[in-house]
Amino acid sequence: MLDDRKKKILQAIVEEYIETAEPVSSKSLVEKHGIDYSSATIRNDMAELEKIGLLDKPHTSAGRVPSAQGYRYYVDELLDYNDISVQEIKYIQSQLETKINQIEDLTKIATSTLSEVTHYTSVGIGPNVYSQKIEEVKFILLGSRLLMAVILTEDGLIKETIIKFDEDITQEQVDTLTYLFNNKLKGQPLSQINQPMEEYMHSEMNNILKVVRPVLEQLSKAINEDIPVYMEGANKSFELPEFQSLDIAKNFVNILDADRTKQMIDILDDGENEEEIHVYIGDENVDKALKNFSIITFKHKEKGKDLGTIAIIGPTRMDYSKVISAMKCISKKLGENKICNNKLIGKPENKENSGKDDEDG
């Protein structure tokens, strides 16, 4: 355990470094942070903090810089969760009050709002489709060879995709399809849409198989590929001093581009069971390419339903306090509004009757 003075020193160094990006000297702590000891005393403490691994030294005659562990200690023990101004709170609220029609839109808005408020790069991904359960599948004939499938999940997610056939299909076939799919798939998770269906269909109705197969193919393709990814403020990161280093800048672009989808989802959707906000500092990230970056994720849930994940990616010298405060503010607002419970899929709701919360059951 650190004594109070060491805590104060560590906090001051972290905050000063986050603000200035310059190594922090013992003298500046006395002068700017009101730590009422001589610089020599502070130097002794700094040496010890370095020995424990909470501080680093770029070179002998430079000031100190927080290590990854130092940031970790700061985040776990010293953080201020209210580092957000009234204006910012109001801005967040106004943004999230926009009328939205789909959960994905909400994730998108939250992603850009978060980037606006924090001035960091944010990435939002849609909810984990795989585990969601199917409520209904609708098929709409758009042309004689063109079919649209709309999947509604119990969590209120809507996913549509288009299937093109090589031959004409009839409304009758579509009706059979609708019956079959709903009969078999209702209540099943989307991940189940692959093999078992085909087998089932095979035995069930042989003559409709040529219709079923392309539908299945396209459905699983849509489920696997179409997880929406939103990104905001990639350019903001380039204004940060650490992006003077070409290597870091390159690395960053590589992370965001290319397999950003897969990469991110793999990383972000990892810790399922714990708190809604997670902080991964520097080399705590599984991916080695992220060793100079920190990621803060926020999983948007409502009554246990996964509604998407929003993340901030920035240098390890990140304003953790600000980011986490903003996330908590967004989280609170989302919770208050209840804009994204299953009323979104159009179930009747009694606006004025606030007496009873009609849950399913």
Q: What is the 3-state secondary structure (H, E, C) of the chain?
A: CCCHHHHHHHHHHHHHHHHHCCCECHHHHHHHHCCCCCHHHHHHHHHHHHHHCCEECCCCCCCEEECHHHHHHHHHHHCCCCCCCHHHHHHHHHHHCCCCCCHHHHHHHHHHHHHHHHCCEEEEECCCHHHCEEEEEEEEEEECCEEEEEEEECCCCEEEEEEECCCCCCHHHHHHHHHHHHHHHCCCEHHHHCHHHHHHHHHHCHHHHHHHHHHHHHHHHHHHHCCCEEEECHHHHCCCHHHHCHHHHHHHHHHHCCCHHHHHHHHHCCCCCCCCEEEEEHHHCCCHHHCCEEEEEEEEEECCEEEEEEEEEEECCCCHHHHHHHHHHHHHHHHHHCCCCHHHHCCCCCCCCCCCCCCCC
Q: Please tell me whether residue 57 binds DNA under the rule CB under 7 A.
A: yes
Tokens at 225, concatenated: 């590929």
* Side-chain-facing half-sphere of 128: CA atoms under 13 Å: 20
Measure the CA dihedral 174/176/177/179, to 10°. 120
- When the beta carbons of 70 and 308 are compared against its own copies, the nearer one is 308
Task: Give me the amino acid identity at 300.
Answer: H
- When the beta carbons of 24 and 89 are compared against DNA, the nearer one is 24
Closest CA to 88 of 119, 121, 133, 44: 119
- Residue 46 contact partner, candidates its own copies, DNA, none, CB within 5 to 8 A by sort of partner: DNA
Tokens at 247, concatenated: 């290597």
Q: Please tell me whether residue 43 binds DNA under the rule CB under 7 A.
A: yes
Q: Please tell me whether residue 337 binds its own copies under the rule CB under 8 A.
A: no
Q: Please tell me whether residue 46 binds DNA under the rule CB under 7 A.
A: yes
Q: Please tell me whether residue 61 binds its own copies under the rule CB under 8 A.
A: no
Binding marks (x or -) toward its own copies, 140..159, rule CB under 8 A? Answer: x-xxxxx-x-x-x-----x-
Q: Please tell me whether residue 289 binds its own copies under the rule CB under 8 A.
A: no
- Residue 239 contact partner, candidates its own copies, DNA, none, CB within 5 to 8 A by sort of partner: its own copies
- Region from 36-44, 119-127, 160-168, 205-213 binding DNA, contact rule CB under 7 A: 36-44
Q: Please tell me whether residue 26 binds DNA under the rule CB under 7 A.
A: yes
- Region from 135-143, 182-190, 326-334, 353-361 binding its own copies, contact rule CB under 8 A: 135-143
Which listed residue (27, 90, 164, 210) binds its own copies by CB under 8 A?
Answer: 164
Interface of this chain with its own copies, residues 75 to 114, rule: CB under 8 A? 99-102
At closest approach, how far in Å is the CB of 171 from its own copies?
13
At closest approach, how far in Å is the CB of 133 from DNA?
57
Interface of this chain with its own copies, residues 241 to 270, rule: CB under 8 A? 243-244, 246, 249-250, 253-254, 256-258
Q: Please tell me whether residue 50 binds DNA under the rule CB under 7 A.
A: yes
What's the length of the chain? 361
Residue 56, φ and ψ in degrees, nearest 5: -125, 160
- Region from 53-61, 135-143, 215-223, 305-313 binding DNA, contact rule CB under 7 A: 53-61
At closest approach, how far in Å is the CB of 159 from DNA?
52
Q: Please tell me whether residue 63 binds DNA under the rule CB under 7 A.
A: yes
Which listed residue (59, 99, 288, 356) binds DNA by CB under 7 A?
Answer: 59
Q: Please tell me whether residue 348 binds its own copies under the rule CB under 8 A.
A: yes
Q: Which residues bind DNA (CB under 7 A)?
A: 5, 23-28, 37-41, 43-44, 46-47, 50, 57, 59-64
Q: Which residues bind its own copies (CB under 8 A)?
A: 99-102, 138, 140, 142-146, 148, 150, 152, 158, 160-166, 168, 218, 231, 233-235, 238-239, 243-244, 246, 249-250, 253-254, 256-258, 343-349, 351
